[in-house]
Amino acid sequence: MAEVLLENVTVRYPIYGVGATSLRNQLINVGTGGLLSREGRTTVEVTALRDVSLRLTNGDRLGLVGHNGSGKTTLLKTIARIFEPTLGKITVTGRIATVFGLGTGALPDLSGYENIRRMSMLLGATFEEAEASIPDIEAFTELGNFLNVPIRTYSAGMTTRLLFAVATAVHPEVLVVDEVFGAGDVGFQTKARKRMAEFVERASIVILASHSSDILDQFCNRRIMLEHGQIVG
Ligand SMILES: Nc1ncnc2c1ncn2[C@@H]1O[C@H](COP(=O)(O)OP(=O)(O)OP(=O)(O)O)[C@@H](O)[C@H]1O
Ligand SMILES: [Mg+2]
């Protein structure tokens, strides 16, 4: 059985080389971002997640909402083990696949094909499984010969096509998706929604961050709202 369990998870990022005195009074609240605090003379800390507890099991499709900087991506990256919690504990049972925006998981100097093989294997596929998934990824991405060139030359939407196709070509039990539907053209969005729908049927747990309530209505059966790194509803 797949499970995602977060127990009192806090994630803080230190930001070095910022004069703490340049921070204005913490009490002046801003609409976006986590909480900034002073940490010594030259370090500032952002608390991106504060004391988040959450349990997801088979069939849970969670939508994450919240303002820019509220902690959605940080929560997804913590579940994906890209970040370690500063405090608290996280347990994920089941094979996990992630789709993040540009720059996560893919190596810019490798070609599309090389990234497909590498990322598939990082997602737990065997060499044979990675090879077998290639025709499907070629068809979905429609990138043609661009799959032979380094992905640093891709546009944002082209990269999203590739990352989304790879993550959904393996069959994870836990799928983590961060805002992919916004990048990419209308053609991609239509295809991505269709593929996502098939995928959501098969995955045990889905966690999706999006600013589109339309997307969340279609794919999610639970929702949480984050505000300054805390669950508020
Ligand atoms: N690498 C980093 N170093 C320092 N601070 C960071 C880093 N990544 C994120 N943050 C901070 O953590 C907080 C939460 O950011 P996060 O990216 O999780 O927000 P988000 O809810 O995904 O926002 P958006 O809707 O804009 O995607 C923000 O205040 C941000 O400034
Ligand atoms: Mg984000």
For the segment 2-60, what is each residue's pLDDT rounded down to a tens digit? 999 999 999 999 887 766 566 655 544 566 777 777 766 677 888 999 999 999 999 99
The best mutation among 74, 76, 177, 216 to test binding of ligand 1, ranked by most ligand atoms within 8 Å of the C-beta, falls on 74
Q: What local confidence, expressed as pLDDT, does residue 28 receive?
A: 47
208 in any annotated domain: yes
180 alpha carbon – ligand 1 mean position (Å) = 16
**Is the Cβ–Cβ distance between 216 and 63 less than 8 Å?**
yes
Report if residue 108 sits inside a domain.
yes
In this structure, of 106-115, 158-167, 180-189, the range with the lowest mean pLDDT score is 180-189
Ligand 2 mean position, distance from CA 64 (Å): 10
Tell the residue nearest (CA) to atom 11 of ligand 1. 48
What are the pocket residues of ligand 1 if the criterion is a CB atom closer than 6 Å to any ligand atom? 13, 15, 33-34, 46, 48, 66, 68-74
Residue 103 has a pLDDT of 57
Confidence of residue 100 (pLDDT cuts 50, 70, 90): confident
Question: Can you list the alpha helix ranges (DSSP code H) found in the chain?
Answer: 72-79, 112-122, 127-132, 134-141, 156-169, 186-202, 213-219
For ligand 1, mutation pick of 9, 68, 208 (most atoms within 8 Å of CB): 68
Q: Which atom of ligand 1 is nearest to the CA of 226?
A: 21
Q: Which of 38-42, 134-138, 217-221 has the lowest mean pLDDT?
A: 38-42
Q: Is 23 within the bounds of a domain?
A: no
Domain assignment of residue 156, yes or no: yes
What pLDDT score was predicted for residue 26? 53
CATH code where residue 204 lies = 3.40.50.300
Provide the number of structural domains found in the chain: 1
Q: What is the mean pLDDT of residues 158-175?
A: 86
Q: How much is the pLDDT for 8?
A: 98
CA nearest ligand 1 atom 1, residue: 13
pLDDT in tens, 102-121: 556 789 999 999 999 998 88
- Taking alpha carbons only, the member of 142, 227, 157, 147 closest to residue 189 is 157
Q: Compute, in angstroms, the gap from residue 74 CA to the centroid of ligand 1.
A: 6
Average pLDDT, the chain: 87
What confidence category does residue 198 fall into, taking pLDDT thresholds of 50, 70 and 90? confident
Determine the Cα–Cα distance for residues 77 and 203; give it in Å rounded to an integer.
18
- Give me the pLDDT at residue 227, please: 94
Q: Quote the tokens at residue 96.
A: 């996990």
Is residue 152 a part of any domain in this protein?
Answer: yes
Supply the residue whose CA is at minimum distance from atom 24 of ligand 1.
68
Nearest protein CA to atom 17 of ligand 1, as residue: 73
What confidence category does residue 179 fall into, taking pLDDT thresholds of 50, 70 and 90? confident
| pLDDT of 91 strictly over 90 | yes
3-state helix, strand, coil in the chain (%, to 5): 35, 30, 35
116 Cα–ligand 1 center, Å: 27
Residue 188's domain comprises 99-213
Whether 157 maps to a domain, the answer reads yes
- Residue 144 is assigned to a structural domain of this protein: yes
Cα of 149 to ligand 1 centre, how many Å?
31
Q: Is residue 109 part of a domain?
A: yes
pLDDT on residue 182: 65
Q: Which atom of ligand 1 is nearest to the CA of 74?
A: 18
User: Does residue 101 have a pLDDT over 90?
Assistant: no
**pLDDT of amino acid 27:** 46
- Is residue 197's pLDDT more than 60? yes
